[in-house]
Amino acid sequence: MAKQVKFLQGNEAVCEGALYAGCRFYAGYPITPSTEVAEILAARLPKLGGRFIQMEDELAAMAATLGGSIAGKKSLTATSGPGMSLKMENLGYGYLTEIPCVIVNVMRGGPSTGLPTGPGQSDVMQARWGTHGDHPCIALTPSTVQEQLNETVRAFNLAEKYRMPVILLTDEIIGHMREAVEMPEPGDLAVVDRKRPTCDPKDYLPYKPEADGVAPMADFGSGYRYHITGLNHLPDGFPSNDGKLAQADEIRQQKKVDDNYDEIVVVDEMMCDDAEILIFAFGSTARSAKEAVQMARAEGIKVGLFRPLTIWPFPDKHLLKYKGKVKRVIVPEMNLGQTALEVERVLKGSPEVEGIFQIDSEPINPITILNKIKGGK
Amino acid sequence: MSYDYSKYLRKGKIPHIWCPGCGYGIIMKSMIRAIDSIGWEKDDVVMTSGIGCASRLPGYVDFNTLHTTHGRSLAFATGVKVANPKLNVIAMGGDGDMTAIGGNHFIHACRRNINITCFVFNNFIYGMTGGQYSPTTPKGSRATTSPYGNSDNQFDIAQLAIGAGATFVARTTTYHAVPMEKLMKQALEHKGFSIVEIIAGCPTGYGRKNKLASPAGMIEWQKEHSVAIAQWEKMTDEEKAGKFPIGVLHDVEKPEYVEAYDANVGLS
Ligand SMILES: Cc1ncc(C[n+]2csc(CCOP(=O)(O)OP(=O)(O)O)c2C)c(N)n1
Ligand code: SF4
C-alpha cells in the first residue's frame, strides 16, 4: 500500500515525530519560531491521553519536562535561543541525573532577543557547552521536513536508550517551511523505550550501570522508591563529595555517548567519493549547499556534500576519512564559524578550512556557496 | 508513648547535615507523623525540594524523592503531578528557595491551584550559604550581606500565597510541633494547592548575627510572637505589632488544576 503523504510544516512534523515516538507530556513556554510545536501538541496530546502545560518560563518548562519523564512519560519541550538560555540550568540537571527527554531548539538570529523571526545557526556551541560542567551531549540537525519527523523519533529513541536529554537543533527555515512528508505507519520506524528495573525494589540501584553503561530507570510511583539529586551521587542515588568517584561517574556518562558513536552519529555524504572539494553543512544551510554542489557538478567540478544529521557528538570519524584527501573544505553556516572550528580540529590543517559565515538573518544563498567553490581559495 | 519514625527514615542516611539546634528536625518529624496519620503508601508519595538546608530533607525519608535545583522544587513537582496525578506530591524549600529564586514558580503554582502541598521552611535567612539576607529577613536584622542591618522590605509568605490563589494556607512554628502535624495533615488532604509556612530557627545563620544564638531562645521567641488566628482577629493593630498569626489562615474550595484541565480537554 502506498504511504500516506502529508504536506506539513517543519514544526508540525516535529509534533508528528514526537507523538509517533510515544511522547505524552509537553511543558513549554511560547517563543517564535518554535511556538507551533506547543500549539499543535496542546491540541493533540489530550486526544491521545497525554497532557500539555504552559509553564511560567523556560526554567519551569525544562523542570516540568524532566518531572514528567520521572513520572514515566516521554516528555518534550520546544523553544528558541532566549528560552534555550533559560533551559540551561535544568538541562544540566537532566544530564547529571540522567533523565531522558527531548528539547527542540528552533534556532533564530542573534544573541539576546536578536532577530526573533529570522533564521540562525548560532546555538551549536551552546547546545554542546551551554550548561556548566562537563557532560555528554547528543544533538541532531535535520535539513528537511521529513527529517524533522524522523529525527524527532530518533531523538526520543536516543534519549530513552542512553537515559539522557537529547537536543533537536533545527532552525527557523526548516521549522516554518512546508514539504511533502511520507507518514510512517506504526512499525516503520523503531521506537525505543527506556529500560525499567525488573529486580526486587530492595536491590534497585538507580545509577548502577549495566554492561551498556546505562542503568535502568524506574518511574516514580512504580514501587521503586529512590532518590534523585543534582549533587554528584553514588550508584544508590545519594550524594557523595568524593571527587574521584564523581570524576569516574562523569567519565562513564560521557562514554555512554562516545562508545556508541556508530549508532548515534549519522552523516549523509553526497557525491563525496571522488570529491576534491568538500562542503560541510548542516540544517537549512545544507539545503543551499546541496544545490550548490549539484550546480558545480553540472559544470564538472568534483565537489561533495558532507551533511551531519548528528552534530554532537561531532562526526569526527566520518570526517577523518577526508583528511589529506580533499583539496579544499568549505564550511557555510549561519554563525561566525562555530562548526568550522570543529572541522579544523578534526582535519588539523589538511586542508585549511574555508568558511562562509553569515548572521544577517538571511539564508546562505546557493550562489554564494557556488561562487566560493568556483572562486578558489 | 514515643512514636517510631524508623519506618519512614532511610537507613544509613542519618545523621543529617543540620546544625545542632536547627529547627528542621522538628519539621521533618511532624511531616512524617502527618503523612503516617493519613496512611498513604510510601510508593505513592513524591517529595521534591530545591537547594538549601531545608531542601536536604527529602534525602532522609523513604519516599520517591527529588532534590532539584535552587528554587525549582515546584516546577519539577508540577511536571510530576501533571504527568501522573495519582501521586501525592509534596514540594518543599526554604524561604529563599521558594520566594526569591523560586518566587515565580511559587506564585504560579498557587494560581493554578494544582493539587500539590508546599511546605516553606521560613528561617528568615539563607542558611546553607552562611547567613545572607532573604526576602523574609526582618528589616534591620543583620545578615552577612546586611552588615549595617537589612534595608529590604519583607514578604509575608502566607499572604503572598493567598494573594496568588492558593486555596489552603496555614502558618505554624517549630514551637508548635503537635499543631504543626495537624496543619500539615489538613494541607496534605486538601484538594488544590496548599501551603504551610513553618517559622523555624536557624541559630547558625540568623541567631548568631542577631543575638538570638540559643536554639531554645529562638523557639521561645516563636512562642511569644505567634498568636492563634482566632485571637489575632480580635486584636487591635497595636496589639498585633511585631506578632504574627498562626493556624489556618485561608481555606477555600476551587477547581483543582489537573481535574479542570482533564474536564476541559475531554480527558476525564
Ligand atoms: C542558581 C543558584 N544560585 C545560588 C545558589 C547558592 N545557594 C544554595 S542554597 C542558597 C540559599 C538557601 O536559603 P534558603 O532557601 O532560605 O534555605 P535554607 O538553607 O535557609 O534552608 C543559595 C543562595 C545555588 N545553589 N544555585
Ligand atoms: S545553617 Fe541554619 S538552616 Fe542550615 S542547618 Fe544550620 S541551623 Fe539549620
Q: pLDDT tens-digit profile of B32-57?
A: 999 999 999 999 999 999 999 999 99
- Per-residue pLDDT 10s for chain A (377 aa) are 678 999 999 999 999 999 999 999 999 999 999 999 999 999 999 999 999 999 999 999 999 999 999 999 999 999 999 999 999 999 999 999 999 999 999 999 989 999 999 999 999 999 999 999 999 999 999 999 999 999 999 999 999 999 999 999 999 999 999 999 999 999 999 999 999 999 999 999 999 999 999 999 999 999 999 999 999 999 999 999 999 999 999 999 999 999 999 999 999 999 999 999 999 999 999 999 999 999 999 999 999 999 999 999 999 999 999 999 999 999 999 999 999 999 999 999 999 999 999 999 999 999 999 999 999 65
Q: Sketch the domain layout of chain B as residue ranges.
A: 18-252
Residues A278 and A231 in one domain: no
| Beta carbon of B203 within 6 Å of any ligand 2 atom | yes
Q: How many domains does chain A have?
A: 2
- Across chain A, the runs of DSSP E, i.e. the strands, are 5-9, 23-28, 51-54, 74-79, 101-109, 115-119, 139-140, 165-171, 178-182, 227-229, 267-270, 277-280, 303-308, 310-312, 328-333, 353-357
A194 and A162 in a common domain: yes
CATH number of the domain within which A335 lies: 3.40.50.920
Q: Both A276 and A251 in a single domain?
A: no
Q: Are residues A166 and A224 in the same domain?
A: yes
Residues A225 and A320 in one domain: no
- Looking at residue A163, its pLDDT comes to 98
Nine-digit cell string for A281: 553543512
A89 and A120 fall within a common domain? yes
Output the CA B126–ligand 2 centroid distance in Å: 9
| Sequence-distant (≥ 6) Cβ neighbours of residue A136 within 8 angstroms | A95, A162, A164, A253, A254, A256, A257, A258
Model's pTM, two decimal places?
0.98
Domain containing A322: what range?
Answer: 268-375
Type of residue at A81 = G
- Both A247 and A302 in a single domain? no
CA of B60 vs chain A CAs: smallest distance (Å): 9
Domain's final residue, options A214, A248, A264:
A264
Which one of A228, A246, A264 terminates a domain?
A: A264
Same domain, A53 and A13: yes
The b-or-e profile of A128-163 (16+ CB within 10 A means b, else e) is bebbeeebbbbbbbbbbbbbbbbbbbbbbbbbbbbb
CB contact under 8 A, B79 and A46: no
Residues A364 and A236 placed together within one structural domain of the fold: no
Count CB neighbours of B184 within 10 A: 27
CB contact under 8 A, A71 and B69: no
Whether residues A258 and A276 fall in one domain:
no
A234, A245 in Cβ contact below 8 A? yes
pLDDT of amino acid A110: 87
Q: What is the pLDDT of residues B142-163, one digit of tens each?
A: 999 999 999 999 999 999 999 9
Instruction: Report helix, strand or coil for B83.
Output: helix
pLDDT for the residue numbered B211: 83
Q: Residue A373 — φ and ψ, nearest 5°? A: -60, -45
- Nearest CA to CA, how far is A200 from chain B (Å)? 14
Closest A-chain CA to B66: A228
ipTM of the complex, rounded to two decimals: 0.97
Residues A36 and A74 in one domain: yes
Task: Find which of B42, B49, B82 to mutate to test the A interface (most A CBs within 10 Å of its CB).
Answer: B82
| Mean pLDDT over the full length of chain B | 97
Per CB-CB distance under 8 Å, the chain B contacts of A228 are 65-67
A146: CATH: 3.40.50.970
Q: Please report which residue ranges of chain B form alpha helices under DSSP H.
A: 24-38, 73-83, 95-96, 103-112, 157-164, 177-189, 215-225, 229-232, 237-240, 257-265
* Cβ <8 Å between B69 and A60: no
**Hey, is B142 helix, strand or coil?**
coil
Residue ending a domain, choose from A264, A284, A300: A264
> What is the fold, at CATH topology level, of the domain defined by B18-252?
Rossmann fold (3.40.50)
Same domain? For A6 and A148 the reply is yes
List CB contacts (< 8 A) between A90 and chain B.
Answer: 68-69, 72
